[in-house]
Amino acid sequence: MAQITKDQIADTLESIAQMLEIKGENVFKIRAYTNAARALETYTGNIAAAAGEGRLGEIAGVGKAIAEKITELVATGQLDYFEKLKAEFPPGLFEMFELQGLGPKKIKVLWEALNVTTVPELEKACKDGRVADLPGFGKKTSDNILGAIEARTKFAGRFRLGSIAAEAERMVSELRELPDVFRATIAGSFRRRKEVVGDLDFIVATNSPAEVSEFFVKHEMVESVIAHGATKSSVRFKSGIQADLRVVKSAEYPFALNYFTGSKEHNIVMRQRALTRGWTLNEYRLAALDNARSTPPPITDEPDLYRALDLDFVEPELREDRGEFAAAEAHTLPDLIETENLRGTFHNHTTASDGRSTLAEMAEAAQELGLQYLGIADHSKSSVQAHGLETDRLLAQIAEIKVLNANYDGHFRIFTGSEVDIHKDGSLDFPDHLLEHLDYVVASIHSSFTLSEAEMTKRIIRAMENPHVTMLGHVTGRLLLSRDGYAVDVPAVIEAAAATGTMIELNANPKRLDMDWRWWPRAKEKGVACVINPDAHHTSHLQFLHFGIGIARKGWLTRTDVVNCLPLGQIEAVLSAKRARRK
DNA sequence: GCCGTTTTCGGCCCGACTGTTTTCAGTCG
């Protein structure tokens, strides 16, 4: 029996919560299950080990009852309570939760009054008028359900940051241009630079709320209007993403910005901190309660708000309730890396393998971006599908780079590298005597994705033990929203990276963003160096570095944790450090 | 069901919008 994963356990807890909702259980009990599911999703420890050693209670949000259920799931692969609960409901019922505007109460009525238990049955019941006739429903509700069914099939509901960034930034800059708009920002998970976002939240401070809302819902990017009120409007953009607009008064802006930036977990702690001071915090104000011993200070921006709660300013990327409050209290928050700190980058392709820009074009684009160096790492020979380089072509590329470098007289440099395939057994696609000729080597997996976690981990660690392997490319191989990463013991890989002096890549391609931001604090703690690489296959992809910076910031990294912040004069020694320590 | 610097009992974030209702329930974030 395959070991049950953390995500599967979280899904089970979510399902329990949904079933309890339909049953009309105590809302706080339901919340306890969803809280526990969320807590598991962000837990980075080994869940099976924690269960075996009775340490599940250490996870905030997991108490005695849920710990017992997780333990049973880990030990037997299933949960009696869950199976019995599931038997009370028709299986198709849960798909209905995915429909916007439909919640547990309405689902229960549809089931009990009309015996509707699947989305197709629901569609039929709406079309023949049975839903509209239900008490508490009506024609509009019926039509909205049909609209939600259509939207669900058309849009998966989750979007990579990279796919919607242009649309989001266009909207916010146009909002800023409107008369009477004082401030406008994209809040939400976009501002926190999550790798995948579900919707966009725009916050606007204005004295003309009606005009701003009107502009928003009538914008040419808007496909349909979901809601249009005095202070809140929701639309769906043509790309499929839902976008919400909140219009507030200037004085309310810092509170709205903070509230709608989240995360939900971060907000809960903020509110609680206000409450312990006798104040109440919401999206409009920080105000004294009746029993307050003092009045809150005036707040004009977000840093004021944090200061009022005795905290250093917490950058949006860190607002995930993963330790930022303790650090903000102790004045130990990191000085996060910024895009301007980058001096070069390493994992880039050219037309020699599967890139679409030439070596010269890539070098020119890097200089235009203000970078001092660019590493070229085309695929190795085994990556036939990517036109990987044979030995001769690699040596020719090295010679070509030498010629280009001679023309830069020291102010810019191209480093010679290769993205070498890691074979199934952990050996590399090029022999050491060839790798020796390169300034650096990126080792990556592009085949045999289905090895067991133990085999995959062993394979990667063996590759890192090669003294020529400077950095490990895309650690899990995940493709966001389309392919899960291969099974790999990330903490063991981090340990091995520290032991061998191998850097770990933060692949900044918005489809990857791998290694995941949740692991970087651990890598940093172990002393593993991060290298942010765009995995560029075109000159325009160098812009991906910006997404990588967002993830590095979410991972608490500073400029000193990221090697490609080093200037040209210092980077060479770092690239050769691992080889040097073997000699 | 979880949790504890007022608590082992009694809290648990709360405001906006929609639709159906005629003062509010359901849903969402």
How many angstroms separate the CA atoms of A192 and A187, rounded? Answer: 8
Residue A133 pLDDT > 70, yes or no?
Answer: yes
Q: Of all nucleotides in the shown strands, which has a C1' nearest the CA of A32?
A: B1
- Summarize pLDDT for A392-402 with one digit per residue, the tens: 999 999 999 99
Q: Of all nucleotides in the shown strands, which has a C1' nearest the CA of A33?
A: B1
Residue A583 pLDDT > 80, yes or no?
Answer: no
Q: Of all nucleotides in the shown strands, which has a C1' nearest the CA of A199?
A: B29
Domain count, chain A: 4
Q: What is the pLDDT of residue A247?
A: 95
Name the band, by pLDDT with cuts 50, 70 and 90, for residue A2.
low
Which residue, counting CA atoms, is nearest to the C1' of nucleotide B29? A260
Enumerate the nucleotides of strand B whose atoms come under 7 Å of any protein CB.
Answer: 1-3, 6, 11-21, 25-29
- Summarize pLDDT for A159-182 with one digit per residue, the tens: 899 989 999 999 999 999 999 999
Which residue, counting CA atoms, is nearest to the C1' of nucleotide B1? A29
Residue A1 in any domain: the answer is no
Q: Of all nucleotides in the shown strands, which has a C1' nearest the CA of A262?
A: B29
In which element (H, E) is residue A280 found? strand A279-281
Indicate the residue among A131, A154, A177 that finishes a domain. A154
Q: What is the pLDDT of residue A185?
A: 95
For the CA of A410 and the C1' of B22, the distance in angstroms is 80
Q: Of all nucleotides in the shown strands, which has a C1' nearest the CA of A134?
A: B20
How many angstroms separate the CA atoms of A512 and A114, rounded? Answer: 45
Name the band, by pLDDT with cuts 50, 70 and 90, for residue A473.
very high
Residue A267 in any domain: the answer is yes
For residues A265 and A174, state if they share a domain: no
CATH number at residue A241: 3.30.460.10
Name the band, by pLDDT with cuts 50, 70 and 90, for residue A240.
confident
Residue A213 pLDDT > 70, yes or no?
Answer: yes
For the CA of A316 and the C1' of B6, the distance in angstroms is 32
For the CA of A377 and the C1' of B26, the distance in angstroms is 55
Residue A551 in any domain: the answer is yes
Name the band, by pLDDT with cuts 50, 70 and 90, for residue A291.
low
For the CA of A248 and the C1' of B24, the distance in angstroms is 26
Q: How far is CA A583 from CA A82, A183, A467, A527, A578, in A?
A: 58, 58, 10, 22, 9
Residue A294 in any domain: the answer is yes
For residues A358 and A291, state if they share a domain: no
For residues A21 and A83, state if they share a domain: yes
Residue with more model confidence, A154 or A130 = A130
Q: What is the pLDDT of residue A155?
A: 63
Q: What is the pLDDT of residue A414?
A: 97
Q: Of all nucleotides in the shown strands, which has a C1' nearest the CA of A61?
A: B2
For the CA of A245 and the C1' of B5, the distance in angstroms is 40
Nearest to A554 by CA among A192, A141, A15: A192
- Summarize pLDDT for A326-362 with one digit per residue, the tens: 999 999 999 999 999 999 999 999 999 999 999 999 9
For residues A195 and A54, state if they share a domain: no
- Summarize pLDDT for A529-561 with one digit per residue, the tens: 999 999 999 999 999 999 999 999 999 999 999
Which residue, counting CA atoms, is nearest to the C1' of nucleotide B6? A276
Residue with more model confidence, A151 or A230 = A230
For residues A169 and A141, state if they share a domain: no
The side-by-side arrangement of strands in the sheet containing A181-186 is A181-186, A199-206, A242-248, A232-237, A222-228
Q: Of all nucleotides in the shown strands, which has a C1' nearest the CA of A108?
A: B26
Residue A572 pLDDT > 60, yes or no?
Answer: yes
For the CA of A15 and the C1' of B19, the distance in angstroms is 28
Provide the mean pLDDT of chain A.
92
- Summarize pLDDT for A219-235 with one digit per residue, the tens: 999 988 999 998 999 99
How many angstroms separate the CA atoms of A343 and A567, rounded? Answer: 6
Residue A582 pLDDT > 70, yes or no?
Answer: no
For residues A522 and A561, state if they share a domain: yes
CB A385 within 8 A of CB A395: no
CATH number at residue A520: 3.20.20.140
User: What is the 8-class DSSP label of residue A87?
Assistant: T
Q: How far is CA A416 from the centre of its chain?
A: 31
Extract the tokens encoding A315.
């950058």
CB < 8 Å & 24+ apart, contacts of A435-439: A435/A466, A435/A468, A436/A468, A437/A395, A437/A398, A438/A398, A438/A468, A439/A375, A439/A415, A439/A572, A439/A575, A439/A576
Among residues of chain A, what percentage have pLDDT more than 70? 98
For the CA of A226 and the C1' of B17, the distance in angstroms is 10
Extract the tokens encoding A108.
């229960």
Residue A169 in any domain: the answer is yes
Which residue, counting CA atoms, is nearest to the C1' of nucleotide B16? A232
For the CA of A91 and the C1' of B17, the distance in angstroms is 31
CATH number at residue A37: 1.10.150.110
CB A276 within 8 A of CB A233: no
- Summarize pLDDT for A295-315 with one digit per residue, the tens: 889 999 999 999 999 999 999
Residue A520 pLDDT > 60, yes or no?
Answer: yes
For the CA of A239 and the C1' of B22, the distance in angstroms is 40
Q: What is the pLDDT of residue A156?
A: 66
For residues A379 and A357, state if they share a domain: yes
For the CA of A119 and the C1' of B13, the distance in angstroms is 32
pTM for this model (two decimals)? 0.82
Task: Please list the residues that pair with A354 across neighbouring strands.
Answer: none
In which element (H, E) is residue A200 found? strand A199-206
For residues A322 and A439, state if they share a domain: no
For residues A197 and A300, state if they share a domain: no
Extract the tokens encoding A534.
């765009």
Place of tokens 């939760």: A97
CATH number at residue A260: 3.30.210.10
Q: What is the pLDDT of residue A44?
A: 78
Among residues of chain A, what percentage have pLDDT more than 90? 69
How many angstroms separate the CA atoms of A268 and A34, rounded? Answer: 15
For residues A216 and A137, state if they share a domain: no
Residue A192 in any domain: the answer is yes
Residue A238 in any domain: the answer is yes
**Residue type for position A378:** D
Indicate the residue among A313, A330, A347 that finishes a domain. A330
CB A104 within 8 A of CB A22: yes
For residues A226 and A196, state if they share a domain: yes
Mean of pLDDT values over A492-508: 97
Q: Of all nucleotides in the shown strands, which has a C1' nearest the CA of A138?
A: B20
For the CA of A289 and the C1' of B20, the distance in angstroms is 35
Which residue, counting CA atoms, is nearest to the C1' of nucleotide B5? A276
How many angstroms separate the CA atoms of A119 and A225, rounded? Answer: 23
Range of the domain at A130: 6-154
Residue with more model confidence, A465 or A268 = A465
Q: Of all nucleotides in the shown strands, which has a C1' nearest the CA of A246?
A: B16
For the CA of A35 and the C1' of B12, the distance in angstroms is 12
For the CA of A260 and the C1' of B20, the distance in angstroms is 29
For residues A148 and A166, state if they share a domain: no
Lowest mean pLDDT among A46-60, A141-155, A505-519: A141-155
Q: Of all nucleotides in the shown strands, which has a C1' nearest the CA of A29?
A: B1
For the CA of A62 and the C1' of B14, the distance in angstroms is 24
Strands of A471-555 (E only): list them: 471-472, 503-507, 530-533
Phi and psi (nearest 5°) for A106? -70, -40
Name the band, by pLDDT with cuts 50, 70 and 90, for residue A127.
very high
Q: Of all nucleotides in the shown strands, which has a C1' nearest the CA of A28?
A: B12
Indicate the residue among A250, A272, A298 that finishes a domain. A250
Residue A183 in any domain: the answer is yes
For the CA of A235 and the C1' of B29, the distance in angstroms is 14
Q: How far is CA A269 from CA A29, A264, A478, in A?
A: 20, 9, 32
